[in-house]
């Protein structure tokens, strides 16, 4: 069985589009940006930023790539559900509650933030389904 070593930029973009369509996120603003991570949901602007840094990705990095994209997609789903401005306030409120010591045992406004935990769980729960789908459709 031959597995492609790399996934091209256009295949990568097609995969992202398929996920966006599935989660009905067409109304979410997307911006290409030179960032270190594959993607980042900017809570301050309600924009999903996609990295232009990687022209292609290695197939062995696909799991991490999918988890990252799905993590950011979960933020976008929340932003769409509540409206991004309201979601920004909810997210910041959560950060403040942690910073001010309202949650025993939680001290990191990022890592302990429930929206971050939800997003990470969403990514880890759903990546396999997409991995199998993309494999079946011969992206790699
Ligand atoms: Zn996040």
Quote the ligand 1 centre to 41 CA distance (angstroms): 7
Quote the ligand 1 centre to 51 CA distance (angstroms): 15
Residues with a beta carbon under 5 angstroms from ion ligand 1: 116, 119
Q: What is the pLDDT of residues 113-136, one digit of tens each?
A: 999 999 999 999 999 999 999 999
Give residue 1's pLDDT.
Answer: 59
Quote the ligand 1 centre to 12 CA distance (angstroms): 20
The whole-model pTM stands at: 0.93
3-state SS class at 42: strand
Quote the ligand 1 centre to 3 CA distance (angstroms): 31
Q: How confident is the model at residue 55 (pLDDT cuts 50, 70, 90)?
A: confident
Is-contact 57 7, C-beta < 8 A? Answer: yes
Ordered by start, the domain boundaries in the chain are 61-140
- How many Cβ atoms from other residues are within 10 Å of residue 8's Cβ? 13
- Angle in degrees, 0-180, between the axes of helices 9-22 and 62-82, rounded to the nearest 10: 40
> Average pLDDT, whole number, for the chain?
94
Cα dihedral: 97, 109, 41, 47 (round 10): 50
């Amino acid at each position: 069985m031959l597995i492609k070593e790399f996934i091209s930029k256009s295949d990568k973009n097609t995969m992202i589009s398929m996920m966006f369509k599935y989660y009905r996120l067409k109304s979410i603003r997307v911006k290409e940006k030179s960032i270190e991570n594959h993607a980042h949901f900017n809570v301050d602007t309600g924009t999903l930023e996609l990295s232009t840094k990687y022209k292609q990705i290695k197939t062995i990095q696909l799991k991490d790539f999918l988890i990252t994209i799905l993590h950011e997609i979960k933020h976008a789903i929340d932003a769409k559900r509540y409206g991004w401005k309201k979601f920004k306030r909810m997210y910041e409120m959560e950060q403040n509650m942690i910073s001010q010591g309202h949650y025993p045992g939680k001290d990191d406004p990022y890592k302990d933030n429930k929206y971050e935990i939800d997003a990470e769980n969403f990514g880890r729960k759903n990546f396999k389904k997409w991995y199998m789908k993309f494999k079946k459709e011969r992206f790699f």
